Amino acid sequence: MPRVLPRFLTLIPLLLWTASARGESVHIALDYRAAEPDCPSKNAFERFVLARSPIADFGALSADALTARVRVAPSERQQFIGSVSFESAHEANGGERSIEGGSCLDVAQALAFVVALRTRHPGDVDVRRSEIAPLPERPAVPSAKKPRWTFGTFASGGVRSGTSPVLAPMVGASIEVRRTGDAWIAPRFRMSGLHAWSESTSTQGTMKYQLMTSAVDACVVQLPLHRERASLCPIARLEIGSQRAVGIEGQGRGAGSGAGLWLAASGMVRAQTTIARGLTLELDAGALFPLVRNEIVRGIDSTVSYSIPAVAWTAAANVGWTFW
């Protein structure tokens, strides 16, 4: 949760006395950059400074304007770190001050206080690093704390080979349980239902192929790419279901029966990115290894129409919603 800097409060009377004792304005050339879109804007930061120092002037600049470079960016453990440095005609580099806090807003407001103090004549006030070091944070608000585990639902669409002589379109739905955070060890488990279908025509006739299968995915190690917003994850999958082939000009069957067992293992790579809070987009690609390799035959003359290969491939795009 946000950290506050109560030591600054003791400097407010000094700042107000300074503003009333000096009538001239202090021109400030502000170079403000915040990495996150929900951080205060440059105009908002200027208002923070003006609320604490009426003599600050961000309008027309003069030759002796005070240059303030302000930066705010995310840090580890979902914190934010900010820095401010000064340059003026009186000194080339006034040093850099850093502040860390739990939210971008609190860090920006603390930095605005430093800029307001600096509107005094250079050297009058020395804001030391020890004065702006983080202090113990306020009690956490329970509703803002993320749980260690989350769950989500996904819909998918893609193609795969191996179930018929041609590429088979595929759709599916799944539920997932995963560990939150951007650590390398972040287990996630998913159960899916998949349906693939295709139609193949040859000199022997036309066959319709269907695959209905359930799948279990597991990922233990992930490669975080950007603070829980993007990651790569190696997936191990096991599929079990039923494969059928029906001949339009004859009857197809698998392994001497009307429907053949589908049992396959697969290894995939899943690229995941968070589009908005809770909304996730994924891309899967990998290899299939059928463990039961049936032969699809025509019932009329027992001619082999298709044999399940030893290796196939699959690719899919998933869209999901994660709850927490």
Quote the pLDDT of residue 130: 42
pLDDT band at residue 212, thresholds of 50, 70 and 90?
very high
Quote the pLDDT of residue 284: 95
Of residues 227, 310, 312, the one with CA closest to residue 268? 312
Mean pLDDT calculated for residue range 20-42: 76
CB atoms closer than 10 angstroms to residue 92: 7
Most confident of 92-96, 131-135, 206-210: 206-210
Quote the pLDDT of residue 68: 86
For the entire predicted model, the pTM comes to 0.53
To the nearest whole percent, how much of the chain has pLDDT over 90? 26
Of residues 62, 57, 55, 44, the one with CA closest to residue 112? 44
Mean pLDDT calculated for residue range 86-111: 79
pLDDT band at residue 193, thresholds of 50, 70 and 90?
very high
Cα torsion at 128, 132, 57, 88 (round to 10°)? 30
In whole angstroms, what is the distance from residue 272 CA to residue 284 CA? 9
For helices 104-117 and 42-52, give the axis angle rounded to 10 degrees. 50
Q: Is the pLDDT of residue 128 over 70?
A: no
Mean pLDDT calculated for residue range 282-294: 92
Q: Which fold has domain 6-131?
A: Rossmann fold (3.40.50)
Mean pLDDT calculated for residue range 93-113: 83
Residue-wise pLDDT tens digits, 44-93: 898 888 888 888 888 766 667 788 889 998 877 667 888 888 887 666 56
Please state which of the four CATH numbers 2.40.160.20, 3.30.428.10, 1.10.10.60, 2.30.42.10 is assigned to the domain occupying 146-323.
Answer: 2.40.160.20
Q: Using CB atoms within 10 A of its CB, is residue 43 exposed (0-12), middle (13-18) or buried (19+)?
A: exposed
Quote the pLDDT of residue 204: 65
Q: Using CB atoms within 10 A of its CB, is residue 11 exposed (0-12), middle (13-18) or buried (19+)?
A: middle
User: Residue ranges per domain, the chain?
Assistant: 6-131, 146-323
